[in-house]
Structure 1
């Protein structure tokens, strides 16, 4: 990116065009010197890469981010400049995800990415973000690279920290000795899950009774029979809910506690779980099915007002947009890619009531700031929030 003649204030000089006192030649110089990094008096462009089509779909995420930006713009924007979201659909296609990142950075001139929700973005584009010195604040971090990259810091715990919390809940809160895992693992994510299981073992001194990280989407009978044979008292599971619980009931597994990953925490899944089965779910933020919980009030009002689907993913979208806006409001001088990156690397932690721990970007080489999970239980076709607040794994 291009540098500017006044580093103390980014790409804006005193008496810039915003105040109406800069000369035409000076305005032209500023524009020419800073165009590639986003400095101008026009809109602040912010990128995101989302799964709108394909196998991993989160269409509500960019809608919720835009709703936050619209709210900020209606109140005057950031120092008089409007926020403009430029969202790209990668369809869970690596080629499209790579192209999207290049277009956002090179063609659109975004100052940062905020509110991405892609299963392939982080692993594919982490090197690009580092090379271009641009930060990304995903609403939904999925693959391990989202949590181990210097220029990416998600606002969700992610499937790995969540898996550790779920295992911890099964063994330490539910007091089960025989804990098992049946997971469908996305390509490239197996190492992250193995590390999450190891983290639980290191904290508790316990080991799994049975593990299968290659669960398919077909008939689940063989997986459930293996769980029965292993004497599983609790089973962590992250694939299709309806057929799994129908077959578990047929197998007479009503005494087993099934603990579902966050992707299964939906209204539709609660309705298909048999009433005599024990199904829990780990949530990444405050349970979205209770709008009265801390932090959920604002999210609930915002998505209702804009006709956006209430999901955990839309929670992450609002949080990502909110913390992004808060950091931008603290920037002195012009808002450019350089000043935005610097602000996130130097920021103080933000307490966000929807999350289980403070969120911070910071200067480190990897970022996984959000820890812990709340737990809910399927009850009469819905989800009941369980007492105890956020479960944050600690050394025993």
Structure 2
């Protein structure tokens, strides 16, 4: 199996060796030979998603083995920015100016969107991240992730707690990361506008220390449901100690792992919101293809790898609609003018389109912890404002 390249030096060496054999469109982009596609990922550092470029590469390998796109192979150039701002900025410029990539596909960096949104607009190149993390991923003209994002998911989680679980006193114990406070505030406001409800209690600076004071405050506020996004083990161990078996806890996609399901004490009601079909059930619509890709290539099974396969699939589907040369400009035009794509792994159709902001995927499915595993709940995707 081919592997994504992760160093600019290696990329430059391959480019130099191949340049004599490739014609270009006059702007440094090859119109014969491989179709170069960039990706900026967190393989190392604080936010690690090493499975994402592997999954994108696996989809590209599948396409290449079937003859490529218009006879041209797809070449993924993945760069690890290690969540380092300078490395992320340099990676974007190198991919665009030196490598001549036609688009960015399957990025999963926590800092890419905020740092490079202006670069993508300036160079008129589109990015289809596998994992959109910060608000800039969803408010930029040239970026459209394939996930609802943490803020769209937060609105869905609040909506699930109040409208599906039927609670009037909904609370939040959250850690707000630098630069994401505006997104959290907007997500809460969106929920309030949809439901006419306000939070009964909120704490937006929950750290990784002893969670007792936050849980005691929740009890004193009469919280019926509590949304939480921090480390699972200590928090829920203390919730059990506090006797909070009558409270419905809702955690985000970052907590939706097999290990966390095993760490939640019996007797607590803990739900998790997912951005794609729950990955723990390979039989759900859309998951069959993802599971096949993951198993055949021995890639870690995570929700983020779902986004990787989806972003690669969508990119290939749009690429096949292009008549004539496949270049950066033709790829950008194809995404800006495309028709919506129904992709069963998510709750709403995905489309890029011509707008100044893009957050095409809405809604979430929910799972519940029980017996050391996550049980998929039957409601299907919850799209705030479309239920009840």
TM bucket (normalised to shorter chain) is over 0.9
Aligned position for 1:252: 243
Q: Distance in 2 between matches of 1:83 and 1:33?
A: 18
Corresponding residue to 2:311 among 299, 308, 320: 320
Deviation at 1:40, TM superposition (A): 2.3
Structure 1 position 281 matched with structure 2 position 300? no
What is the aligned counterpart of 2:144 among 138, 147, 153?
153
1:67-101: CA deviation from partner (whole Å, max 9, x where unpaired): 00000000000011000110111111111111111
* Coordinate RMSD, CA, aligned: 1.5
Kept in 2: contact 1:254–1:278 (CA 8 A): yes
Scaled by the length of structure 2, the TM-score of the pair is 0.93
How far off its partner does 1:290 sit? Answer: 0.4
The equivalent of 2:23 in structure 1 is: 31
Corresponding residue number in structure 2 for 1:45 = 36
Residue 373 (structure 1) aligned with residue 361 (structure 2):
no
Q: Which runs of 5+ in 1 are unaligned?
A: 1-26
Q: Is the 8 A contact 2:30 2:100 kept in 1?
A: no
Which residue in 2 is equivalent to 1:63?
Answer: 54
| Residue matched to 1:5 | none
Match of 1:186 among 177, 191, 198: 177
- Relative to structure 1, is the Cα distance of residues 337 and 104 closer, same or farther in structure 2, using a 3 angstrom cutoff? same
- What CA distance in whole angstroms lies between the structure 1 residues aligned with 2:181 and 2:258? 28
- Residue 229 of structure 1, CA deviation: 1.3
- Is 1:86–2:77 an aligned residue pair? yes
1:223 corresponding residue in structure 2: 214
Q: Distance in 2 between matches of 1:141 and 1:34?
A: 33
Among candidates 366, 374, 387, match of residue 383 of structure 1: 374
- The CA deviation string for residues 5-63 of structure 1, in whole angstroms up to 9 with x for no partner, is xxxxxxxxxxxxxxxxxxxxxx9999354352x23211111011111111111110000
Match of residue 8 from structure 1: none
> Which of 193, 198, 201 is residue 202 of structure 1 equivalent to?
193
Residues 234-245 of structure 1 correspond to what in structure 2 (within 5 A)?
Answer: 234-245=225-236
Q: Is the 8 A contact 2:25 2:31 kept in 1?
A: no
Secondary structure class of the residue paired with 1:247: helix
Quote the residue 1:339 is aligned against: 330
Is this contact kept in 2: 1:122–1:146, CA < 8 A?
yes
The 3-state SS of whatever aligns with 2:369 is strand
Deviations 1:245-290 (A, max 9, x none): 1111111111111100001101110010011111100000110000
Q: Distance in 1 between matches of 2:350 and 2:189?
A: 24
Give SS of 2:384's match: coil
TM-score normalised over the length of structure 1: 0.91
Q: Kindly tell me: are residues 192 and 341 of structure 1, through their superposed partners in 2, closer, same or farther at Cα, counting changes over 3 Å?
A: same
Q: Which SS does the other structure have where 1:31 is aligned?
A: coil
Q: 2:115 aligns with which of 110, 124, 127?
A: 124
Contact 1:275 1:379 (8 Å CA) reproduced:
yes
Distance in 1 between the 2:72 and 2:131 partners? Answer: 27
1:18 is matched with: none
Could you tell me which runs of 5 or more consecutive residues in structure 2 were left unpaired when the two chains were aligned.
Answer: 1-18
**C-alpha displacement of 1:128:** 0.3
Q: Tell me, what secondary structure is at the counterpart of 1:46?
A: strand
The structure whose Rg is larger is 1
**Aligned counterparts of 1:157 and 1:183: Cα–Cα separation in 2:** 19
Alignment deviations for residues 285-320 of structure 1 (CA, whole Å, 9 cap, x no partner): 110000000000000011000000111000000000
Counterpart position of 1:111: 102
Q: Which residue of structure 2 lines up, in the alignment, with residue 262 of structure 1?
A: 253
Counterpart in 2 of 1:168?
159
Relative to structure 1, is the Cα distance of residues 278 and 120 closer, same or farther in structure 2, using a 3 angstrom cutoff?
same
1:86-142 Cα deviation digits (max 9, x unpaired): 011111111111111111111111100000001110011000000000000000000
Whole-angstrom CA distance in 2 between matches of 1:372 and 1:295: 16
User: 1:269, 1:28 → 2: CA distance?
Assistant: 52
Work out whether 1:307 is the aligned partner of 2:298: yes
State whether residues 34 and 40 of structure 1, in contact with CA within 8 Å, keep that contact through their aligned partners in structure 2: no
SS in 2 for 1:133: coil
Distance 2:21 2:374 in 1: 58
SS of residue in 2 equivalent to 1:101: helix
Query: Which of 131, 134, 151 is matched with 1:140 structurally?
Result: 131
Partner of 1:4: none
Residue aligned with 2:306, SS: helix
Aligned-partner Cα distance in 2 for 1:135–1:230: 46
